[in-house]
Structure 1
Amino acid sequence: EEQASGQTMTASMGNNPDAEPRNGSANKTDANADSVYTVSVTGAYDNDGFKGDGDGVDRIVKKPRELTDEEASQQGKFKLSRSEKWRILKNVSAVSFAFMIQFTAFQGTANLQSSINAKDGLGTVSLSAIYAALVVSCIFVPTFLIKRLTVKWTLCLSMLCYAPYIGSQFYPRFYTLVPAGVILGIGAAPMWASKATYLTQVAGVYAKLTDQAVDGIIVRFFGFFFLAWQTAELWGNLISSLVLSNPHGGSAISGNETITDFDTCGANFCVVNTLGNENLVRPNDAEIYEISGIYLACIIVAVILIATLVDPLSR
């Protein structure tokens, strides 16, 4: 056995049994000719001095073949550039701000229903119709609509369903507000379903692109969405307050009105009496039309944002 530089070589020689030992150089030659060597090698090292001497064939390293788009899709892999990262963030931002504008209009309108449409409980009944239709729509409509229109265009159509309800504020009657509320409720379910589908799908692509956990990206995208969406209540009430508190709006009761009848003063004051609480008085039609016009424009802007800035999932 001979051991050198981490290499162990064992050689054993077996002589031909028919060969007889001979003396001299001829004997050595014959003995070597009849000998059988068995060599085993354990451990090895590369000797750069023998590279390229022609004894062996250099190993050819082949580059892996690039996958086609179809093969990559089947294996769940994505061929994306870094610009796709910013495109995805743009889509998430567009959806979030579109919903913020959309619900600025809806929440602002809904918060006024018990005041501006208090007669015969019209405003309250219309809100009840919205959520009753929403419950039924959640069961049947989202899957049906998304399969036929895709996620993006389901969003656009569903958001347009909010327009009739706000438009009905120009002529509030039971036969206008209640059917418009039903249309809104039917459209709300696929709108929320398509929004959740879109954010979840793009979060999965973004996670693969950035090599991050999918769950963490989904939570981050939904967190940003609801951050924008929750501010809609603030903007809606702010618009209503600015319009209704406008001193040039011609409200029903002026702040400088002199009351000569003192029956509602002091201990006789009653908050239920509209004469004692001007907040219970319906604003004049001009102010309601102004508010409704602003909110209706918000719906149109939100739909345009989705249609023009949001990329379809098929891309």
Structure 2
Amino acid sequence: MEAEPPLYPMAGAAGPQGDEDRLGVPDGPEAPLDELVGAYPNYNEEEEERRYYRRKRLGVLKNVLAASAGGMLTYGVYLGLLQMQLILHYDETYREVKYGNMGLPDIDSKMLMGINVTPIAALLYTPVLIRFFGTKWMMFLAVGIYALFVSTNYWERYYTLVPSAVALGMAIVPLWASMGNYITRMAQKYHEYSHYKEQDGQGLKQRPPRGSHAPYLLVFQAIFYSFFHLSFACAQLPMIYFLNHYLYDLNHTLYNVQSCGTNSHGILSGFNKTVLRTLPRSGNLIVVESVLMAVAFLAMLLVLGLCGAAYRPTEEIDLRSVGWGNIFQLPFKHVRDYRLRHLVPFFIYSGFEVLFACTGIALGYGVCSVGLERLAYLLVAYSLGASAASLLGLLGLWLPRPVPLVAGAGVHLLLTFVLFFWAPVPRVLQHSWILYVAAALWGVGSALNKTGLSTLLGILYEDKERQDFIFTIYHWWQAVAIFTVYLGSSLPMKAKLAVLLVTLVAAAVSYLRMEQKLRRGVAPRQPASRGPSTRCAVTAIWRRTTRTRATRRASMGTARRRRRRPRGPGPAPSPPDLAAGPAPTNRRKGATGPRSSEGSPGPGTQPPCSPASVYHVSGRGDPLRVPSCLQRLLSLLPHIGDAPPRARVTSGLQQPPPRRGGALGTPQPRTGVRKHS
């Protein structure tokens, strides 16, 4: 079988005629210059275009995988370190031997308060930070703050742990909002690179059909959350390979525990104050923290080096040019949209369920009955179930849109009913398999919930100037829900399950109501998306006004000069430039003055509230409407400091500057229109 010939022959390869190529043109020094520097005769433009967009699509896939792996490593390190730190600080022997009377429980409570309370203010600064730094750099900055939190555990003091926890709380919502925005933008770019031929036919200003990027978005969100949910399993590696060797068994830690599950109150009431059989050496702790720090640094490098920009530079400029005040207000204005209002209960439930998995199922049902040494395996079951179920979100490619989200809510509803009537017996391992199944099924519901919500938001709000606001609102409501769980941590388990159940039912009903409105064609109320680059639009109007004003003055000066100059040969005056349209003037024909003596508009002036004129700004397809008051102001700005009215103006066309001296060496006045910039 013969080998397929290459698309382009190798440079310098001898053809059938030795030093001549197949076209009969000599190769080497005797080759013509056009053959060396000109276009290759066998150049295939379509093949090169296909290869170019294939590289672009591979770059988008690389961005998605890098962002997913970076998020997985970041949260794996954060959750693993926080879990190990809280277990060590809970043991009273460890506190007394290591830190004496430093008040470590108080430091831990302040640290948890900083992590849970600070995100409440995130709605005020998250959109501004994302627009200021950009989506990719906001992700990098947030991952760096997580790495800073890891580094402060080398020296555990109040002035290191609490400030780093507050900084981490400030970075939670910006990280998740930028991550959701980034994955959505990658799906849109992948659709653009996959259908480049259709876009070339439609033109650059023609938008693709709404929802056309939905299949790619569904796949990318499934990949992202499949990676992210593995972070719960990665977080258990320090527990499995290091801390479990120092823990007491369940007969010691659960000696005073009387009730578990639905009969419990608070978090692990009656749990033993000493959980460590032997204290870990400081050197071993430093080694573990160094490994976690290295992984956090690797996550920073992944985001920095492998994640490309979410927007083009011109798009970044347009997103910032709407004004920082508008950027600050737009998250609040988007709440007018009935789609967001109907999804708010689901946002709140999304925060409730992830905290209930880590505190309710893992601690109230798991550790309370089978001991602390099996906590890691319960969370691994939850992680693997959620990671595998994230790929089930791909069923949305063939099923109706509400099915995955409603299916996840149904799984959680069934489990909540079962947990409401189940109270496992402490120190009994016969029912441990039920705990693992419950944790895995809860992970399935969590994955369908997270994947479905993120995909739904990316489909409903596909305009790039709205995505960061929408994901900010989504994760801010999640942060509010997590803060509520933090405040109600001492409630009985039945009260927690009741709140969870009511929120879930309200979220499902509200979401189905939203889908019904969309099917009926109810138009959502969205805040007006202001055109980008307002300054550029004003500059274009200014230049147009200057050009038309100068044309009118030039024509008047030419007519005046024709009456005054003597007869003789000379250059014929050039006609005025009429391509710019009529000159904007404030006076009608026959007006005597701009205003009357009483301050009211004169007989020849336009009223101050005249209709706005329409200007088609270059570079933009939509017209810009400018009030006449602003027209008059802009028409006067370029003429501040002009020559007196008696100055001669020769022509509207730009002429070369005259020589410094005339025939007798006397300077001659400059002619022509002053060039305004």
TM over 0.5: yes
- The equivalent of 1:163 in structure 2 is 147
Amino acid in structure 2 at the alignment position of 1:226 = Y
* TM superposition shift of 1:180: 0.8
Taking the TM superposition and a 5 Å limit, the aligned residue runs for 1:50-199 are 81-118=53-90, 119-137=104-122, 139-199=123-183
CA deviation vs aligned residue, 1:96-148 (integer Å, no higher than 9, x gap): 001111111001012223212234253343123112112212x1222111222
Contact 1:104 1:298 in 2 (8 A): no
Residue matched to 1:236: 235
Hey, what's the Cα distance between the residues in 2 that align with 1:216 and 1:252?
A: 48
Provide closer, same or farther for how the CA distance between residues 285 and 297 of structure 1 changes in structure 2, counting only shifts above 3 A. Answer: same
1:207 deviates by 2.0
One-letter code aligned to 2:133: L
Contact 2:75-2:231 within 8 A present in 1 as well: yes
**Aligned partners of 2:84 and 2:243 also within 8 Å:** no
Counterpart for residue 50 of structure 1: none
Distance 1:122 1:285, change over 3 A: farther
Change (3 A) 1:159 1:273: closer
Distance (Å, rounded) in 2 between the aligned partners of 1:95 and 1:197: 11
In the TM superposition, residue 233 of structure 1 has moved relative to its aligned partner by 1.0
Higher Rg of the two aligned structures: 1
Is 1:305 the equivalent of 2:302? yes
For 1:273 and 1:81, the matched residues in 2 are separated by 61
Alpha-carbon distance, 1:165 to partner: 1.8
Q: TM-score, normalised by structure 2?
A: 0.30
Deviation, structure 1 residue 157:
0.9
TM superposition shift of 1:274: 5.2
In the alignment, which residue of structure 1 is the partner of 2:264? none
- Alpha-carbon distance between aligned partners in 2 of 1:104 and 1:95, rounded to the nearest angstrom: 14
How many residues are treated as equivalent by the alignment? 218
Which residue identity is paired with 2:213?
V
Structure 2: distance between partners of 1:176 and 1:161: 13
**Superposed, which structure 2 residues align to 1:262-277 within 5 Å?**
270=256, 272-273=271-272, 277=275
Instruction: Give the whole-Å Cα distance in 2 for the aligned partners of 1:81 and 1:252.
Output: 55
Q: Determine the C-alpha separation between the residues in 2 that align with 1:93 and 1:222.
A: 11
Gaps of 5+ in 1: 1-79, 256-264
Higher RCO, Cα 8 Å, sep 6+: 1
Structure-1 separation of matches of 2:247 and 2:87: 14
For residues 209 and 164 of structure 1, the distance between their equivalents in structure 2, rounded to whole angstroms, comes to 37
Given the superposition, is the C-alpha separation of residues 285 and 252 from structure 1 closer, same or farther in structure 2, using an over 3 Å criterion?
Answer: farther
Q: Mind listing any 5+ residue stretches in structure 2 that lack a counterpart?
A: 1-51, 91-103, 196-210, 258-270, 313-677
SS in structure 1 at match of 2:86: helix
In structure 1, distance between residues paired with 2:191 and 2:58: 13
Q: Give, in whole Å, the separation in 2 of the partners of 1:241 and 1:286.
A: 18
Deviation string 1:242-284 (CA, Å, 9 cap, x unpaired) is 12346xxxx599x9xxxxxxxxx99xx6575556x436x7644
SS at match of 1:162: helix
Q: Is the 8 A contact 2:84 2:238 kept in 1?
A: no
Q: How does 1:211-222 map to 2 (within 5 A)?
A: 211=195, 213-222=212-221
Structure 2 residue aligned with 1:206: 190
- The letter of the residue matching 2:178 is S
Question: Which of structure 1's runs of 4+ aligned residues deviate more than 4 A?
Answer: 269-275
CA distance in 1, matches of 2:247, 2:224: 40
Return the offset for 1:237: 0.6
Mapped partners of 1:252, 1:192: distance in 2: 34
Q: Aligned in 2, Cα 1:239/1:120: closer, same or farther, shift over 3 Å?
A: closer
Contact persistence 2:114–2:165 (CA under 8 A): yes
CA distance in 1, matches of 2:82, 2:247: 22
Cα distance in 2 between the residues matched to 1:193 and 1:282: 40
SS where residue 278 of structure 1 aligns? coil
Matched letter for residue 298 of structure 1: V
* Identity value in percent: 22
Q: Which residue of 2 aligns with 1:278?
A: 276
Cα pair 2:70 2:300 within 8 Å, conserved: yes
- Shift of the 289–98 alpha-carbon distance from structure 1 to 2, 3 Å rule, reads same
303-312 or 290-299, larger mean C-alpha shift:
290-299
Residue number in structure 1 paired with 2:287: 290
8 Å contact kept, 2:53–2:194: no
SS of the residue 1:313 aligns to: coil
